A = this chain, B = another copy of it.
Amino acid sequence: MKLNMNKKVDFATEEIAHRIRSKFDSKGILALNLISSPGSGKTTLLERTIEGYKGQYNVAVIEGDPETNRDARRLERLQIPVAMINTSGTGASCHLSPYQVEQAVEELPLEELQLVFIENVGNLVCPAAYDLGEHVKVLLFSVPEGCDKPGKYPLAFRVSNLVIINKMDLAPYCDFDLEALKKDALAVNPKLEFIIMSLKTGDGLQEWFAWIEKKLKKARKKH
């Protein structure tokens, strides 16, 4: 009985994700779902991205957090629309669900937007299992987390389009083997792309912007 219930829910979530994506497509919006462990740098990456696109693209963020609105407040300072979702008390506080994202999308001024980022709850397990109606999943990984993560959290690497390897400035202090990490990640998902980044030094940000541009062009062609 429990299994049947899960199946029903999964079917429903797929439908909702499809509906969300169609809505984005109809406006030529590119939607990106950011997944990472706690503290990998998702909110900082978003701050830099929003600052970088100021005056060029209108960006909004759907922000998932278990209990607080700290990240949402950090982003609202940049004067963009932020739809906040507190997952705690929903029975599944460890990830955003398409149900929640669909409600959040209703709050956004879609006519004015080109980019929507979904900042998922900091967790490498369950967020990887949900299609939230995004066009691409971006896995933000940070050097101190260790090179064994593609093997240990394979689903997150399997479903992502891009892995950003952040905090590269810490590599000299962390016994970090970039080639081993890439090899393990590609074994799980041969189509993965990588960007090496340090949000502290700014390395990799231009490459990130170029990657987004490429995806945004595709989204606009559909429009």
Contacts and interface: CB of A to CB of B under 8 A. Distances in A.
A182 B85 CA distance: 27
Copies in the complex: 2
Interface stretch (A51-59, A105-113, A139-147, A208-216): A139-147
Interface string A98-129: 00000000000000000000000111111001
A125 B70 contact: no
Contacts of A68: 151-152, 154
Nearest to A41: B146
Nearest to A127: B94
Interface residues of A, number: 40
Q: Which of A3, A38, A88, A167 has the most CB of B within 10 A?
A: A38
Contacts of A123: 94, 123-125
Contact of A152 (B70, B95, B145, B155): B70
B38 A91 contact: no
A155 B68 CA distance: 11
Interface of A: 2-3, 6, 37-39, 65-68, 70-71, 88, 91, 93-95, 121-126, 129, 142, 144-146, 148-149, 151-155, 167, 169-170, 173-174
9 residue pairs, one from A and one from B, having the closest CB atoms: A39-B145, A94-B125, A144-B144, A39-B146, A37-B38, A94-B126, A37-B37, A94-B94, A123-B123
